[in-house]
Structure 1
Amino acid sequence: MNGPQPLITNPQLLSQLSDAELQAVLLEGVSRTFALTIPQLPENLYPAVANAYLLCRIVDTIEDEISLNAEQKKRFCSEFIQIVKTGEGAQAFADELAPLLSTQTIPAEHSLIHLIPRVIAITHSLDRAQIEALACCVETMANGMPVYQALDLRAGLKTMKDMDDYCYYVAGCVGEMLAKLFCHYSPQIDAHRDELLKLSVSFGQGLQMTNILKDIWDDAQRGVCWLPQDIFTETGFNLADLTPTTNDERFRKGLEHLISIAHGHLQNALTYTQLLPRHETGIRNFCLWALGMAVLTLKKIKQNLSFNESSQVKISRNSVKATILACKLSARSNLLLSLLFNLTSQGLKTPGWQYLPESHTGQ
């Protein structure tokens, strides 16, 4: 608490830090999970992945800002795409956006928006292939996310396909970008490029679906639902009836189906990780820690389908520590990883129920 916290609210002090220090402090401020996992990556990958996360967080901040209307969000997203691609216009963009942020946006994100010029300068200090991977991801995300601003989401998304699309725009495209960066980093990884790109979308969706399921009730408080109605039509529940006080077996049955789908995506995430060279323990741990925490979260949701607050299914710090230790001990062994995954994810799959998502790779 004595490190980045006092700094994060002071853009002037932040601007005096080195690039590496700045990205580390900003990451700690906007995402403790990624501040934990990204430093596990090899030295040649860390700057690009840290920068990528900050760029995506800028898009998220624009999308989540309550003071901006849908048209403003669309314009800012469109302008940001060009800034990431060209490296130009960052200061004017930050100067216009920063004063519009409300107090609901956390202080770390206020600082991040103020420091967009510096973040973009770091982006354009990377090599060409890395810049292209980051720009492609930002373009996909910034073009896709505003579509959902215009939707009435009180009754959820219409179909599972709609949920797939949403997850692709907010997480699947990030998975693709990471796969591209890993392939660029290592010819040995690049040998599996096509398979990794396909699996990376599923990896991203598994993590995003886990977050959606965990945050159902927080979202419901805001009058938003990211669940797909067609899954619940099968169980006889109408998502338009969903409220923070809902207690309905038909709803819980639909949740079980979604948990099973998320489990299938996380199974693909394991396959993805096992395709990475065994000696690349840093990259493997980066993937495994996120995968392990997602599995444990799904497990808590499955064991407590009647939960009504996200805090009730949040994994403990001890669980996080245990996940990290287990991953470190088994990172080099595909057999141990399979055994660990099967053991911890036992009971997550709904027997006799399967959903096969469409591929988004190459969108």
Structure 2
Amino acid sequence: MRAIWAAAMALAGAATVAPAQDYRPTFRPDMLTDRPAGAPNDVLVLGSAHLSTLPKSFQPERVTPLVDRLAAWRPTAVASENISGLHCDAMRHQHPLHAEAVDGYCYDPAAAGRATGLDVAAANAAVERQLADWPATPSPAQRRRLAMLFLAAGEPASALVQWLRLPPAERRAGNSLTDAAVAEIRRRAIDRNETALIAAPLAARAGLERVWSVDDQSFVGAPMDDAAYGAAIAKAWDNPASKARAAADAALIARLGAPDGLLDLYRAFNAPDYAAQAYRGDWGAALTELSAQGYGRRYVAYWETRNLRMVANIRELLGRAPGTRLVAIVGASHKGYYEAYLHQMRDVALADTAAVLR
């Protein structure tokens, strides 16, 4: 009888269990109407082209109207899609797991570390101490020293900000900034990427001292057949939505030579419907990929994890100075995820990027 009773109870319980996809949490931070004390944390997410992939005919000075509009928004912080020196240092200590990410995305601060006698952690601590006691009008010597500390800390974008804030006649070695460090900064100043052409100049224009690195490439998935994985994802991407998006992007890139060509590209990448278009051709298609290994779903796991971690870095940054006005520059494919996750935060107000770019 006990066995029959247990079976009956099990069946009754099964009948009341709702499918997982039907469950909705009752606590929805995005639906709450309370407001934090003081000025809000305003975040403007700029979905960016990866400028290094644009044709050689792209002229870097075309970014000026874009930077002008971002500067007019009056940011008090700028974040870019770079991995922080501290995070790269942590991944180097787990090199077998992160060799590809470290080699592909991390700046090597070893030479700057030898020159200063500081490892990455110590250099970051020294940067924090310097900025905590930073004068309203720092001398060129102080800026050169801070630039060198940023290099040792694994933050070359912030070293470039200090360089750009120096008067041209003061952009030289000295005060611990070595000739090799100057060569590194000068090389980075002419890189054709969004950190060198947008983030660092914007921070300098806004009177800021650094660019915040918020990327994360530390995802570690289960071992798999990389060739089969790549083939499965490529097959998922072979769909009408993906082709339509590629054609639209190509048409915009073909117009880069026009006076507002680059600005029009950014307007399209930050239009309200861009994220949904990208999703249909990319992650939405990957979720329905039919390989027995679930390669598409593994890919989406990587993508969502990376975006969650980047947004967590942004949220941590906003906590340093409540009332921050942050421009977060990231590849256009990330923008929809950035905004969706940030929108859930009770102390974050999103700005309309499309309105700023008009």
| TM-score, normalisation: structure 1 | 0.25
TM-score normalized with structure 2 length: 0.25
Q: Which has the higher contact order (CA 8 A, sep 6+)?
A: 2
